[in-house]
Amino acid sequence: MTLPAFDTDTILAGIRDWVQIETPTYSASAVNTLMDKLSDAYDGTGATLERIPGRDGCGDHVIARSPWGQGEKGILVLSHLDTVHPLGFLERLPFKVEGDKAYGPGIYDMKGGAYIALEAFRALARQRKNSPLSVTHLFVSDEEIGSPTSRAIIEAEAKKAKYVLVTEPARDGGKVVTARKGVARYVMTLKGRPAHAGSRHQDGRSAVRELAHQILALEALTDYAKGITVNVGVVSGGTRPNVIAEEAMAEIDVRVPTVAAAKTVLPKIVDRKPVDPDVRIAVTGELNRPPFDKTKGVALLFAKAKALATELGI
């Protein structure tokens, strides 16, 4: 087997162009600017494009289907183009190349992998050689916030596929990911009792103080040996420095390696009890993505990919 000719300088230039279009999830117009550029990149490939309008403040999603084999189950390539970086972050971390590494917002997660998959599709088109299976490439705009507007699309396309490949980055040393932790997201809201911090301090019940207790308790659930992490990543509360805070809020990210771990840890988050009995706590959220175990099918697909890589000398 021989690889088609790839010009790495050209590919790197394309990745640079994508990185320099900042695409934070909640800036639909910014994400759609890259979706426009992506759509144009399929010109001349024969691909059929479907663009699904965004909603709820998120950008559009794009599906590109190969002109061959669409009647049978084929390969779904799944990518996201949104990033966690806010607009303007490019000034802090501009695109650059140092040695054999390139840097820039979103290049690792996951514009680099998404662009390389696009180039592979275009190489097939240039060779005018159909792969044995159809190829469908789905680009979504909301992965970084849990795929609320694309999940149904992803599930529908996955059901049509024989194989699903995700262009997320490899782990340290180039390790291919064949299993993944589950992700849960929660919002904790706290309601205390306001009072003037000077004249009536004793009458107040601080939601912010209670939240401080809760943060320490929540993050204490992290167990690196078991692969469990709990991160309180966003907090807010209070109105003025001279007022005992009546309300506070925290957003919580939880990663669990197995369903059993989820059943053990998640109730400890949902059923939080206040240290101060006069402060009320409510927790909303769910296990957004269940743990992805390495099944027999995944192991077989990895073995096939490894054999092909060995054959190609990569």
Phi, psi (deg, nearest 5) at residue 247:
-130, 150
Structural domain boundaries, residue 202: 182-289
Is residue 173, in this structure, part of any structural domain at all? Answer: no
Is the domain of 230 the same as that of 140?
no
DSSP string, 133-164: S-EEEEEES-GGGT-TTTHHHHHHHHHTEEEE
Is the domain of 160 the same as that of 128?
yes
Q: What is the CATH number of the domain that holds 63?
A: 3.40.630.10
Q: What is the CATH number of the domain that holds 216?
A: 3.30.70.360
Q: How far is CA 253 from CA 29, 246, 288, in A?
A: 27, 24, 10
Domain boundary among 111, 133, 168: 168
pLDDT on residue 160: 95
Is the domain of 162 the same as that of 90?
yes
Residue 121: CB atoms within 10 Å = 21
DSSP string, 229-294: EEEEEEEEE-S-TTB--SEEEEEEEEEESSHHHHHHHHHHHHT---SSTTSEEEEEEEEEE--B--
Domain boundary among 115, 139, 168: 168
Is residue 248, in this structure, part of any structural domain at all? Answer: yes
Is the domain of 16 the same as that of 149?
yes
At 103 the three-state DSSP class reads: strand
Q: How far is CA 18 from CA 14, 115, 260, in A?
A: 6, 8, 40
Task: Report how many domains make up the chain.
Answer: 2
pLDDT on residue 293: 85
Phi, psi (deg, nearest 5) at residue 259:
-65, -40
Is residue 272, in this structure, part of any structural domain at all? Answer: yes
Is residue 298, in this structure, part of any structural domain at all? Answer: no
Q: What one-character DSSP code corresponds to residue 84?
A: S
Is the domain of 124 the same as that of 25?
yes
Is residue 244, in this structure, part of any structural domain at all? Answer: yes
Is the domain of 12 the same as that of 156?
yes
Residue 247: CB atoms within 10 Å = 16
Is residue 114, in this structure, part of any structural domain at all? Answer: yes
What dihedral do alpha carbons 289, 293, 297, 301 form, nearest 10°? 90
What span, in angstroms and rounded, lies between the C-alpha atoms of 20 and 34? 10
Residue with tokens 């849960």: 184
**225-231, Cβ contacts within 8 angstroms, sequence gap of 24 or more:** 226/257, 226/261, 227/181, 227/255, 227/256, 227/257, 227/261, 228/254, 228/255, 228/256, 228/257, 228/261, 228/265, 229/253, 229/254, 229/255, 230/254, 230/265, 230/269
Is residue 2, in this structure, part of any structural domain at all? Answer: no
Is the domain of 143 the same as that of 20?
yes
Given a contact cutoff of 8 angstroms between Cβ atoms, the answer to whether 153 and 79 are in contact is no
The continuous run of DSSP H or E covering 112 comes out as helix 112-127
Is the domain of 161 the same as that of 25?
yes
Using CB atoms within 10 A of its CB, is residue 193 exposed (0-12), middle (13-18) or buried (19+)? middle
- Mean pLDDT in each 10-residue stretch from start to end of the chain (314 residues)? 76 98 98 98 96 98 95 96 97 96 96 96 87 95 95 96 94 89 97 98 98 98 98 98 98 96 97 98 95 92 92 86
Domain boundary among 109, 139, 168: 168
Is the domain of 164 the same as that of 189?
no
Is the domain of 128 the same as that of 58?
yes
Is residue 308, in this structure, part of any structural domain at all? Answer: no
Q: What one-character DSSP code corresponds to residue 177?
A: P
Is the domain of 163 the same as that of 196?
no
Phi, psi (deg, nearest 5) at residue 177:
-85, 120
Is the domain of 72 the same as that of 198?
no
